[in-house]
């Protein structure tokens, strides 16, 4: 239940309701953690017990044959790139409009990120832009379902099949989102999820990969688990000879699995409610000048992990975003940008500084020069130049129309001030 902090009045700030806290740590979650603390190994290197139980439940939830739990979403992505056979000199096509780890996983494998621009409404990588970036060194595509909106996966998969590329979905923000009725994470070759504490499904920390290919399972175990689990799963298989404690060993903590396993039971219900609240807010914000609410493409269901809005200063007396944001803060509404600087324009890419000695860009396996400059991804760059106006989705997992009405009031008041020349 949302609580009224102070009764709203027409002179005070618009926001008086505290959103319902996220994540939800209820008695069942606590009991699950306590049980694991008392009854299971805290370092379950064979991945038996709660971790296996969570993996099985998550695989079933996703409709995938395999799920493999790891220490973070970043670890899941790193593993997915590695087991896809991507390495030095290989190119991977990715969006510049994302959390760094979507791109970092490529660099971590000494491969070269190649950026393709995004759609101006969904902020997701565009299939036609991907097509333009393919070279004979391209090995994979990483699609990030940013904010919880699914990428346009059918054309992306067509391109991938035509060019024999692996597709890795970064679903860190999109648990429960669907594309043409199918869950994200079940559309590409490997789906990667984060279970970090702000996400739609949380373990506190943690990540999980899902996929169908049995050969991939052996590769994942061989790369990302403790040697004891490798021994258990691989001793009679070809990869058994590499059980040597040298691979990264990104194993999950048992307590994360204990939390996530309970949270998973509520994920569907929570995502449906998040979506309803997003729809309500979209309607409430639809007539406010200078504010474009969140778009949802046909055939897609948003996971509403974050609520992206777009700020159009030219409709609001050219008031800079910062001033508008301050006016919202006076109403008690904190907003944020998200990406800030598109990844290809960040210093690491401008200076090509990662491993040192020029790697991966000038490593002996790189066969062509890949550079990053302003203008490479104009849509992402425009979004990051004073248009990113995002709302957190805290409280969206429960009905909260009163709270959403207050958000709309805060926006209306700030827009009125902007139009009156008061900002
Ligand atoms: C899109 C995206 N990818 C990857 C990650 C990385 O997940 P983690 O923090 O669990 O490593 C995040 C986390 O914020 C994310 O939002």
Nearest to 162 by CA among 185, 202, 203, 130: 130
**Measured from the CB, is residue 144 less than 6 Å from ligand 1?**
yes
Query: What's the CA gap between 154 and 170, in Å, rounded?
Result: 16
Nearest to 146 by CA among 267, 307, 32, 281: 307
pLDDT along the chain (423 residues), means of 10: 53 94 97 96 83 97 98 98 97 98 98 98 98 98 98 98 98 98 98 97 98 96 96 94 95 96 98 98 97 97 98 97 97 95 97 94 94 98 96 96 97 97 94
Cβ–Cβ under 8 Å, residues 353 and 325: no
pLDDT at 47: 66
Question: Which protein residue's CA is at the shortest distance from atom 12 of ligand 1?
Answer: 172
Domains of the chain by residue range: 27-263
Considering the four listed CATH numbers 3.40.640.10, 2.30.29.30, 3.90.180.10, 3.40.50.2000, the one that applies to the domain covering 27-263 is 3.40.640.10
**Measured from the CB, is residue 168 less than 6 Å from ligand 1?**
no
**Measured from the CB, is residue 101 less than 6 Å from ligand 1?**
yes
pTM, two decimals, is: 0.96
- Atom index in ligand 1 nearest the CA of residue 195 equals 10
Mutate to test the pocket of ligand 1, among 72, 94, 194, 260 (most ligand atoms within 8 A of CB): 194
**Measured from the CB, is residue 98 less than 6 Å from ligand 1?**
yes
- Atom index in ligand 1 nearest the CA of residue 205 equals 10
Residue 101 CA to ligand 1 center (angstroms) comes to 6
Nearest to 294 by CA among 187, 173, 148, 92: 148
pLDDT at 7: 52
Coil, helix or strand for 68? strand
**Measured from the CB, is residue 72 less than 6 Å from ligand 1?**
yes
**Measured from the CB, is residue 178 less than 6 Å from ligand 1?**
no
**Measured from the CB, is residue 194 less than 6 Å from ligand 1?**
yes
- Atom index in ligand 1 nearest the CA of residue 207 equals 10
* φ, ψ at 78 (rounded to 5°): -60, -45
Residue 391 CA to ligand 1 center (angstroms) comes to 18
Question: Which protein residue's CA is at the shortest distance from atom 7 of ligand 1?
Answer: 73
- Atom index in ligand 1 nearest the CA of residue 194 equals 10
pLDDT at 44: 81
**Measured from the CB, is residue 104 less than 6 Å from ligand 1?**
no
pLDDT at 394: 96
Burial of residue 181, with CB atoms counted within 10 A of its CB: 0-12 exposed, 13-18 middle, 19 or more buried = exposed
pLDDT at 1: 43
Roughly what angle, to the nearest 10 degrees, separates helices 73-83 and 101-108?
A: 40
**Measured from the CB, is residue 73 less than 6 Å from ligand 1?**
yes
Residue 172 CA to ligand 1 center (angstroms) comes to 5
pLDDT at 8: 56
Angle made by CA atoms 75, 79, 83, in degrees to the nearest 5: 180
Burial of residue 50, with CB atoms counted within 10 A of its CB: 0-12 exposed, 13-18 middle, 19 or more buried = buried
Angle made by CA atoms 124, 282, 260, in degrees to the nearest 5: 65
């Amino acid at each position: 239940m949302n609580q009224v902090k102070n009764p709203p009045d027409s002179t005070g700030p618009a926001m008086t309701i505290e959103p319902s806290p996220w994540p939800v740590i209820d008695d069942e979650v606590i009991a699950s953690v306590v049980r694991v603390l008392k009854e299971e190994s805290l370092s379950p290197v064979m991945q038996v017990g709660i971790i296996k139980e969570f993996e099985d439940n998550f695989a079933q939830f996703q409709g995938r044959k395999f799920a493999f739990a790891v220490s973070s979403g970043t670890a899941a992505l790193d593993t997915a790139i590695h087991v896809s056979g991507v390495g030095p000199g290989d190119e991977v096509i990715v969006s510049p409009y994302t959390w760094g780890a979507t791109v970092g996983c490529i660099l971590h494998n000494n491969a070269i990120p190649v950026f393709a621009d995004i759609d101006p409404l969904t902020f997701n990588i565009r299939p036609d832009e991907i097509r333009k970036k393919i070279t004979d060194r391209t090995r994979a595509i990483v699609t990030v379902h940013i904010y919880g909106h699914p990428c346009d996966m059918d054309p992306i998969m067509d391109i991938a099949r035509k060019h024999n590329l692996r597709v890795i979905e970064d679903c860190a923000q999109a648990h429960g989102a669907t594309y043409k009725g199918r869950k994200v994470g079940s559309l590409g070759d490997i789906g990667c999820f984060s279970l970090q504490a702000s996400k739609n499904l949380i373990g506190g920390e943690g990540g999980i990969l899902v996929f169908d290919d049995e050969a991939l399972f052996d590769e994942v175990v061989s790369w990302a688990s403790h040697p004891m689990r490798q021994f258990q799963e691989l001793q009679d298989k070809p990869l058994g000879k590499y059980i040597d404690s040298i691979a990264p060993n990104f194993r999950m903590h048992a307590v994360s699995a204990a939390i996530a396993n309970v949270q998973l039971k509520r994920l569907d219900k929570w995502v449906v409610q998040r979506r309803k609240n997003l729809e309500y807010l979209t309607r409430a914000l639809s007539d406010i000048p200078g504010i474009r609410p969140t778009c949802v493409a046909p055939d897609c269901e948003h996971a509403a992990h974050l609520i992206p809005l777009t700020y159009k200063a030219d409709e609001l007396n050219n008031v800079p975003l910062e001033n508008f944001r301050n006016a919202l803060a006076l109403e008690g509404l904190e907003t944020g940008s998200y990406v800030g600087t598109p990844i290809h324009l960040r210093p690491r890419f401008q200076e090509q500084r990662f491993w040192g000695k020029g790697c991966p860009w000038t490593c002996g396996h790189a066969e062509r020069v890949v550079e990053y400059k302003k203008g490479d991804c104009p849509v992402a760059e425009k979004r990051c130049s004073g248009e990113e106006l995002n709302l957190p989705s805290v409280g969206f997992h429960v009905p909260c129309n009163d709270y959403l009405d207050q958000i709309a009031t805060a926006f209306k008041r700030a827009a009125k001030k902007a139009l009156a020349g008061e900002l």
